[in-house]
Amino acid sequence: MSCLFCQISQKKIPSQVQLDTDDIFAFNDIHPKAPVHILIIPKKHIPSTAEVEKIDTEILGKMILSAKKLAEKSNINQTGYRLVFNTKSHGGQIVDHLHLHLLGGKMLGPMA
Ligand code: 5GP
Ligand code: ZN
């Protein structure tokens, strides 16, 4: 599998790791859009939210709980943060492996 985020989660490509569990991996975005910008991904290859299935319900919940935990670790849980799933081209998705953006550490502008 030549997927970039599969390779990052398998540590074949280095990243600044924030979380590494049996089924979830999280790492700093290489081009941060905010002081805190972490990508939370399932280790299972799912292309986008458009392909999630009922069997993925647990992993989706774990992604949000991981975001909560990382927001606490990054000290942005009190000031607040934004969680974003970009989906396919109109949604601005560049990497075709499901990922949740955790953004915070500054006042974020209005959504596009
Ligand atoms: P998307 O636009 O697909 O929702 O977000 C993909 C994100 O992945 C972008 O914010 C981009 O900066 C980040 N990204 C792309 N390639 C790499 C990489 O090789 N390493 C890391 N850490 N982040 C990457
Ligand atoms: Zn993948």
Q: Which residues surround ligand 2, an ion (CB under 5 A)?
A: 3, 5-6, 45, 97
The pLDDT value given to residue 101: 98
Whether the predicted model's global pTM rises above the 0.95 cut = yes
Task: Point out the ligand nearest to the CA of residue 13.
Answer: 1
Condensed to tens digits (0 to 9), the pLDDT of residues 39-75 reads 999 999 999 999 999 999 999 999 999 999 999 999 9
CATH superfamily of 4-104: HIT-like (3.30.428.10)
Q: Is 93 left (phi over 0), alpha (psi -120 to 50) or beta?
A: beta
**pLDDT value at residue 1:** 66
Q: Is the CB–ligand 1 distance for residue 29 below 6 Å?
A: yes
pLDDT at 112: 78
For the stretch 70-96, pLDDT in tens is 999 999 999 999 999 999 999 999 999
For this structure, is 99 an active site residue?
yes
